[in-house]
Structure 1
Amino acid sequence: MIEPFLSAIPVINRLEASGFQAYFVGGSVRDYLLNRPISDVDIATSATPNEVKEIFQRTVDIGIEHGTVLVLFQNKSYEITTFRTEGEYQDFRRPKEVSFIRNLDDDLKRRDFTMNAIAMDRKGKLIDPYNGQSAIRNKIIRTVGSANERFQEDALRIMRAIRFVSQLSFSIEDETLQAIKKLVPLLKNIAVERIKVEFEKLLVGENANNAILILLRTGLFAYLPGIRNYISQMESFASLSFKGLKKVEMWSLLLFSLKLNNTSVEAFLREWKLPVKEIKEIQQILFFLEKRLEQEWTVYDLYLAGRKVLISTENLYGVLKGLTNIDSLTHWLNLYGRLPIKQRSDMKVTGRDLMEWLHADGGPWLRETIFNIECAILAGDVPNDKEKIKEWLIKCSQK
């Protein structure tokens, strides 16, 4: 047993001491068996939400109608969910009702894939009624029971299956894959925000190339915002070697592959419900990527881009040029590091200074003059020193 399971054992002990069953379940158990990093653990129990709240002093109702209570214990938080069965689903996403039960096997039966339907007790013993360990050993994604039923219950599971291809480098077994092809139109019923979460995890997975090809082969791509008419571009995107790129870089590379103009880029990302801050960052990366493909960085472009956008742009430049080791990144970062200013606020003069020195009111000239000073500092024509700038400016104004 390893962390974070070890820290959570006292939680399970307390539930068991109160007469209830409790187990680690879900992705944490799967990732433990795969020797993958585990960020947090989920616990399933025979105790009802009210019984859980009686056992622990500090709790938060985060999904109590579905049996989930957040327990705050020893400076950590744990989601504890009551064993349950689910009634008829509505909107191909949510059950109309859930029933709390005392039986673990029936709780595991409602889960999506066999690799996620394994429970583990506090001693590390595995409860695996649906052969999830076998699926993990064979790197297979298979639904618990009928694939048609599981996907009709919750159509987002279709997207999750392909996301796991990317994250785990598993294959989808044939019955599950055929059900995906048949039922993929059900994704029309799923909110874009939920699809986006799965798609972004897919984009940054180790096997994203293969997962993107599955999106195309199953027809799922047609139900992703803005992508329906870009099959050949998506194929080109999937052919790139982009392991290790961050989420915002993958969005940028996808959009570069789709060859959208700046206005279409913003509309595309808004359709995906991306935050405005991320949209602007992606637009910046695309702007500088286009320039980088035409020429090397200028000092002023390094300044405008900033360190973060510089790194992302150079990473994508390496992908598009098929470079495995981008030595140039170090060169450009060193050059950026030697810039006398990194942003306009670093300048030792203000617009008020300029108006006083030149005895002039504000106007269009002020913006232009600040820009000229900015360029002069970056070019090394004048140091970023208030008196030196004043001398340089007065001298220029007398010419």
Structure 2
Amino acid sequence: MKIETLPEEFIKARPIIDTIEAAGYAAYYVGGSVRDTLLGLPIHDVDIATSAYPEEVKALFKRTVDTGIEHGTVMILDHGTGYETTTFRTESGYQDYRRPDSVKFVRSLKEDLNRRDFTINALALKTDGTIIDYFDGLTDLAEHRIKAVGDPEKRFNEDALRMMRAVRFASQLNFEIDPETIEGIKHHGPLLTKIAVERIHVEFVKMLLGQWPSKGLDVFMATGLYQYCPDFKAYQEQLNHLRDQLKRGLSNETAVWTLLASVFDLSWKQVNQLLKDWKSANQLIEDVQVATQAVSAISNHSVDDWLLYQTGSELLTIANEVAQQLDVFAYETPDLLNRYQVLQIHSKKELAVSGQDLMSAGIKPGPQLGQALSFLERQVVENHLNNQTQELLSAAIKFLNEKA
């Protein structure tokens, strides 16, 4: 097979391959960029595989970075773009079920492609558009099938994360997973516990961001992979229900975890624990806690001005998206955002008085100063007070006198 018109990304990278070939070595475009080109999808990183050994590659180019030289990968910098260029290699010994214990550089493209995960990712592309396909990946692409290269049992034993990659590709591409590959996932599911949670986290989120998330989630549940992910075993019923409920992918990672927290009916504290167990960043945890609270308010028709203010436009959009996914009551997002926009203030900094103003009016520094500011903030948000300096100063003094 030959691609007549290559995407611009490949054309820009061609001088790299031309330079390598002029020195007497072989070089090809490989990986996801080749697959996505054949599927008519946008391509991202252009990866190159070559028969040249790392030191031979480095000798051909002025600007290189040793991004993974122990595994044969050198980053070639060309006009502001980096191209990962990896020597053909074979691998052996995977005691951690993720990384090879040893890597052997070879001159054979076929040997190199033989170590890859799925046939649709084991395609190579020449600069003239010719596709090299040793493992019938073109047929699997045409038939929308995800199939392990060679023996799936061996592939998943080498790298257990490939099981999560399989369900992620099913979600992103709307492909079926080959029955033998499914069986391999079922047999090797427990090996997922050997993989760093952070890596599983990335693949799981990508799966739910795919256009057909129920496709990936179906295999994730049917093969039992969920059991080997942090805390998910306790939520089998909810995950199964979600599998039947999801119509489209989520917009971002915050939406993914907000959806799960809502489906699992988690408290503020439980959200924190779940996301800590999944090694999430603190900001993500805080955002999911706030957005989950907003989903509950939306579904219960109890969205008031204070909740709008506390949530903010970005998280309101996410919360409403999740409510729509769950087929509970949801607003038209523009209507919800308009309610937020017309609030008098959107942060405490927008109050017409500051702590300094209150002290100038005779209020002493200390806890009462903070109490007064918090009182004014809420009164303005809820439209009980106008955000005007004199009105707020009078209200603060009255508030503190009544408390005394």
- Structure 1 length-normalised TM: 0.94
Distance 1:194 1:184, change over 3 A: same
- For residue 361 of structure 1, the aligned residue among 352, 359, 364 is 364
Q: C-alpha separation between the residues in 2 aligned to 1:241 and 1:187?
A: 25
Letter in 1 for 2:97: F
Q: C-alpha separation between the residues in 2 aligned to 1:167 and 1:106?
A: 28
Provide Cα deviations, 1:248-293, integer angstroms capped at 9, x if missing partner. 1111111221223222221111111011110111111111222222
**Cα distance, 1:391 vs structure 2:** 4.9
Letter in 2 for 1:370: L
Compare 195-204 and 379-388 and name the one that shifted more: 379-388
Instruction: Kindly indicate whether the alpha-carbon contact (under 8 Å) linking 2:213 and 2:249 is maintained by their aligned counterparts in 1.
Output: no
Aligned to 2:287: 281
- For residue 356 of structure 2, the aligned residue among 334, 337, 352 is 352
**Cα distance, 1:197 vs structure 2:** 1.3
Q: C-alpha separation between the residues in 1 aligned to 2:275 and 2:116?
A: 32
Correspondences of 1:255-266 after superposition (within 5 Å): 255-266=261-272
Provide Cα deviations, 1:62-94, integer angstroms capped at 9, x if missing partner. 100000011111111110000111122221111
**Cα distance, 1:242 vs structure 2:** 4.6
Aligned to 1:340: 344
Q: C-alpha separation between the residues in 1 aligned to 2:292 and 2:308?
A: 14
Provide Cα deviations, 1:360-393, integer angstroms capped at 9, x if missing partner. 3123332232123223323444443334433554
User: Secondary structure, in 3 states, of the residue corresponding to 2:232?
Assistant: coil
1:66 aligns with 2:71: yes
Instruction: Kindly indicate whether the alpha-carbon contact (under 8 Å) linking 2:372 and 2:399 is maintained by their aligned counterparts in 1.
Output: no
Q: C-alpha separation between the residues in 1 aligned to 2:272 and 2:396?
A: 40
Distance 1:345 1:199, change over 3 A: same
1:226 aligns with 2:252: no
Letter in 1 for 2:129: G
Q: C-alpha separation between the residues in 2 aligned to 1:320 and 1:96?
A: 45
Q: C-alpha separation between the residues in 1 aligned to 2:168 and 2:246?
A: 18
Q: C-alpha separation between the residues in 1 aligned to 2:397 and 2:97?
A: 71
Correspondences of 1:92-103 after superposition (within 5 Å): 92-103=97-108
1:106 aligns with 2:111: yes
Compare 307-316 and 364-373 and name the one that shifted more: 364-373
Q: How many residues align?
A: 396
User: Secondary structure, in 3 states, of the residue corresponding to 2:233?
Assistant: coil
Provide Cα deviations, 1:112-142, integer angstroms capped at 9, x if missing partner. 1110000001111101111111000001111
Q: C-alpha separation between the residues in 2 aligned to 1:16 and 1:311?
A: 51
Distance 1:60 1:334, change over 3 A: same
Instruction: Kindly indicate whether the alpha-carbon contact (under 8 Å) linking 1:241 and 1:322 is maintained by their aligned counterparts in 2.
Output: no
Correspondences of 1:371-390 after superposition (within 5 Å): 371-390=374-393
Aligned to 2:152: 147
Distance 1:184 1:396, change over 3 A: closer
- For residue 24 of structure 2, the aligned residue among 19, 22, 27 is 19
Distance 1:394 1:154, change over 3 A: closer
Provide Cα deviations, 1:139-175, integer angstroms capped at 9, x if missing partner. 1111111111111111111111111111111111111
Aligned to 1:315: 321
Compare 214-223 and 60-69 and name the one that shifted more: 214-223
Q: C-alpha separation between the residues in 1 aligned to 2:368 and 2:158?
A: 64
Compare 133-142 and 228-237 and name the one that shifted more: 228-237
Letter in 2 for 1:282: V
Compare 211-220 and 132-141 and name the one that shifted more: 211-220
Instruction: Kindly indicate whether the alpha-carbon contact (under 8 Å) linking 2:90 and 2:111 is maintained by their aligned counterparts in 1.
Output: yes
Correspondences of 1:37-48 after superposition (within 5 Å): 37-48=42-53
User: Secondary structure, in 3 states, of the residue corresponding to 1:102?
Assistant: coil
- For residue 303 of structure 2, the aligned residue among 297, 311, 320 is 297
Q: C-alpha separation between the residues in 1 aligned to 2:219 and 2:69?
A: 36
Aligned to 1:77: 82
Instruction: Kindly indicate whether the alpha-carbon contact (under 8 Å) linking 1:147 and 1:179 is maintained by their aligned counterparts in 2.
Output: yes
Compare 302-311 and 289-298 and name the one that shifted more: 289-298
Residue identity over aligned pairs, in percent, reads: 40
Q: C-alpha separation between the residues in 1 aligned to 2:223 and 2:124?
A: 31
**Cα distance, 1:394 vs structure 2:** 5.4
Q: C-alpha separation between the residues in 2 aligned to 1:53 and 1:398?
A: 76
Compare 241-250 and 58-67 and name the one that shifted more: 241-250
Q: C-alpha separation between the residues in 1 aligned to 2:23 and 2:318?
A: 53
* RMSD of aligned alpha carbons: 1.8
Distance 1:397 1:26, change over 3 A: closer
User: Secondary structure, in 3 states, of the residue corresponding to 2:127?
Assistant: coil
- For residue 258 of structure 2, the aligned residue among 231, 252, 258 is 252
Letter in 2 for 1:89: Y
**Cα distance, 1:296 vs structure 2:** 3.6
Letter in 2 for 1:334: N
**Cα distance, 1:327 vs structure 2:** 5.8
Q: C-alpha separation between the residues in 2 aligned to 1:397 and 1:172?
A: 67
Flag structure 1 segments of 5+ consecutive residues without an equivalent.
Answer: none
User: Secondary structure, in 3 states, of the residue corresponding to 1:4?
Assistant: helix
Letter in 2 for 1:145: G
Aligned to 1:87: 92
Q: C-alpha separation between the residues in 2 aligned to 1:354 and 1:64?
A: 62
Letter in 2 for 1:243: R
**Cα distance, 1:396 vs structure 2:** 6.7
